[in-house]
Amino acid sequence: MVEIRWHSRAGQGAVTGAKGLGSVVATTGKQVQAYALYGSAKRGAAMNAYNRIDDEPITNQETKMYPDYVFVIDPAMAFSDDITKNDKPDTQYIITTHLSKEDLIAEIPALHDKAERVHVVDCMQISLDTIGRAMPNTPILGAFMKVSKMYDLDFFLENMKKVLSKFPQKIIDANMEAITRAYNEVN
């Protein structure tokens, strides 16, 4: 079982991202869950989204999890949210930030003893450059593919295209570029 917790603001596409990831993973014969816990359900409010991925049917319906991966897709939430909640010894953190990894970790005491498990990528700048607005949900998945080695980049891109098929070609292309850049730039 792989469990992922997203830290996001409502409107940044965490739910869409979690469902998109679930849809790609389900095409490979795996079982998935994608869900969210909203606070005040207003645009800009802090919220969590979640994924579970397993080879067997997933029966656990509790919201809380001990995540294998934590995605922080809003840069400020690395500072304001309890991102290390229910941390395991091998929990990996993928955080969107314009800071270097060292500078970010220096600012967040909870990450001081987890430096080797922290990965940074600037999904905000990447999505501004490619999609044209701050939409960090798809680039974070590119970074996740690099860190987790779950699927080859090309395989993931092909399947993500199908998930996004209701959008105009221009938007699909921009998302593919964003995912690829984040895959290459995460460290």
Partner 1 sequence: MAKEFELNEVEVWDGNYAASQALRQAQIDVVAAYPITPSTPIVEGYGAYVANGYVDGEFVMVESEHAAMSGCVGAAAAGGRVATATSSQGFALMSEVLYQASGMRLPIVLTVVNRALASPLNVRGDHSDMYMGRDSGWIQIDAFDAQEAYDLPLCAFRIGENHAVRLPVMVHQDGFTTSHKAQNVYPLKDAIAYKFVGDFVPVDEMLDFTRPVTHGAQTEEDWHYEHKAKQHKALMDSPAVIDEVFADFKELTGREYKRVESYMMEDAEVALVLLGSSVHTAVLAAKQLREEEGIKVGVVAPRCFRPFPYDLIRDALDKPSLKAVCCMDKSSPGGAMGALFNEVSAAAYSTNARPMMTNYIYGLGGRDFSVDEAKRIMKEQKAHADAGHITTNIQQFSGLRGPKLGFYEIRRS
- Is residue 165 a contact residue for partner 1 (CB under 8 A)? no
Element housing 52 (H / E): strand 46-54
Which residues does 23 contact at the CB level (< 8 Å), separation at least 6?
32, 159, 162, 163
**35-43, 85-93, 125-133, 135-143 -> range binding partner 1 (CB under 8 A):** 35-43
- Is residue 35 a contact residue for partner 1 (CB under 8 A)? yes
Per-residue mark of binding to partner 1, 45-74 (x: CB under 8 A) = ------------xxxxxxxx----------
Contact present, 146 and 154 (Cβ < 8 Å): no
- Is residue 88 a contact residue for partner 1 (CB under 8 A)? no
User: Minimum distance between the CB of residue 176 and partner 1, rounded to whole angstroms?
Assistant: 20
Which residues does 56 contact at the CB level (< 8 Å), separation at least 6?
31
- Is residue 36 a contact residue for partner 1 (CB under 8 A)? yes
Rounded alpha-carbon distances, angstroms, from residue 94 to 7, 115, 165 = 10, 11, 27
Rounded alpha-carbon distances, angstroms, from residue 57 to 26, 33, 72, 163, 174 = 11, 10, 27, 22, 34
Judged by beta carbon, residue 46 or residue 128, the one nearer partner 1 is 46
Residues 173, 158: Cα–Cα separation, whole Å:
11
Judged by beta carbon, residue 57 or residue 168, the one nearer partner 1 is 57
| Interface with partner 1 in residues 8-27 (CB under 8 A) | 18-19, 22-23, 26-27
Binding interface with partner 1 (CB under 8 A): 18-19, 22-23, 26-27, 31-36, 41, 57-64
